[in-house]
Structure 1
Amino acid sequence: MTVKTVGYIGLGNAGFYLAGAVAKAGFRLVVDDSDPQRVAQFVSNFPRSKAGRATKDGFKDVDVLVTMLPNGKVVRDVLLGDGGISKQLKNGTVVIDTSSSSPFDTRQCGAELRQHGLELIDAPVTQEQMHAIRYAAVTLMIGHDSDKGYKTALPVLQAMSQHVFVMGRLGAGHAMKTLNNYVSVGSILALCDALVAGQKFGLDPKTMIDVLNVGTGRNFSTANAFREEVLPRTFDSGYQLRLLVKDTKIAKEVIQASGLSTQLPDMAIECLSDALRRVRPTANHEECVKRWEEVAGVQLKQSDKPTDRPPNPRYFTSKL
């Protein structure tokens, strides 16, 4: 099936840019968000798109529907709750959930959607560079139970991403997403420990980051978030700390379901939850460092925001 019209629900920090990438790829869009101003802004920026909230059957003609929402329970409510959008979607529509959801919720949601003649694909997002989501240079991790549905959705997936990995059956994408974030959390916690302890010992945090980035300690936080947002004290990653706490709790569920016994998930959840209690509710994830600073009675030495970036042609050439 050739996809002509794409529905997109969720125009937040990530969804607005990813939906824009789909529009730039030439698809007609029908969009919706809990904030009408976001919808109006999107339609103003992309004249071939239209608002789905204008009529109760605004999504009846879409070939593919993309969701980018806070969690799987919200996704299910939007699709299958009272007034759920599944009732207006035509038979055979492919639903792509790019949200950060529980893989167990995703499998349950997929089973329910199949009863309505709809196919669900999970395609959560990660990125190799800070703010790459704004330039359609993200990585998508795919789980699906239908080769036909995946082939239909592939042009839309490719419009939103630089890398697409099929991880397995439905739910596998969300499992990979949460385990990816779990690995990232480990580096964040260790980096907070190291930078605070290092400064108290007499080391310069910026120089520490420089060393880590040409050594075995390099990771996304040293190369991106802490280098670009923490040390300059801008804290503008766009990914909220409360979402990182949520994702870490999902990782714990996945690890427990595997039968593996480990103490790390509980330790990570405890540290991040404590950090969240100490900052504003909408704080971005890298602001968790303030918890370490407060406990240690020190603030990391501020440095200028770096201007260099690792080369990434698509990242630089995108006009979104």
Structure 2
Amino acid sequence: MSTPRFLTLPPNVHRTYVETPRGRFAALEGLPGSGVPERCPALLVPGYTGSKEDFLAILQPLADAGRRRVVAIDMRGQYESPGCDDPSRYTCGALGEDVASLVQALGPDPVHLVGHSFGGLVTRETVLSGQVRLMSYTLMSSGPASVGGPSAAKARALMEAIPQLGMDRIWSLTLEPDARARGLAPEIIDFLKARTLGNCELGLRAMAAELLSAPDRVDELAKAADDAGLPILVLYGEDDDVWEPPEQAAMAERLDAAKVVIPGAAHSPAVEAPETTAGALTDFWNRSERSCRSL
């Protein structure tokens, strides 16, 4: 996969594809720069309208902590991963099966799984399926069920606008002017345009419907994690405006999970506070591996 002209990758991070029985998925892979990697790999799954690049700033520090591989992916139909014309392939359950196939492709070691935002609802299905060996599971800026409030209104508006306007016009009419008003650098605007227009429109509509209707499965997840001895971390920014921080804190308590609140971050801690986020993930992953070895 070629590197777009507007995006510079950190050292030891490269673009690749992961081949699975369920399809081909675009990925960014971070590899340790030196030494013998001894720690378990990790798989990072983005949120709705997101992509693997949302984890770009944390891939190198995570890999440099001795991980064999740290892989961030585009889900089916996101940016550079091929989509399909079957809306049933974009349900949380179906996307969770895609993630399970990706975890298996990273084997044979157990994997640290991270789901950001909508990716948390998807990866929750992976965990509940019991199909894969995991070393730990992190819900990053995700919640117990569907979104509400302004976030729900935005998702519903996009879902309804796509068949009327198409993503080309949505980009030019609303998203591009907003990006320019925020003073984003030209190369970032170029990337956001490529990502926006690269998304499968049917996939965006189907995922929005899932985001708006996802049930609360926290109690099921708590039982599955307890039965499997799976450590869970709930990590979110102190100013998250999608799922409110108290809602995520309550979810962590229901899960009997570790909790980390990232200062100075909102809904995208890996972008807004990468050093703190990478440190929190590395600490949690290392503790999970030490706990596993002691059993």
**Per chain length, whose mean CA-contact separation is higher, i.e. which structure has more relative contact order (CA < 8 Å, sep 6+)?**
2
Q: Look at both structures and tell me which one has the larger radius of gyration over its CA atoms.
A: 1
TM-score, structure 2 length as denominator? Answer: 0.31
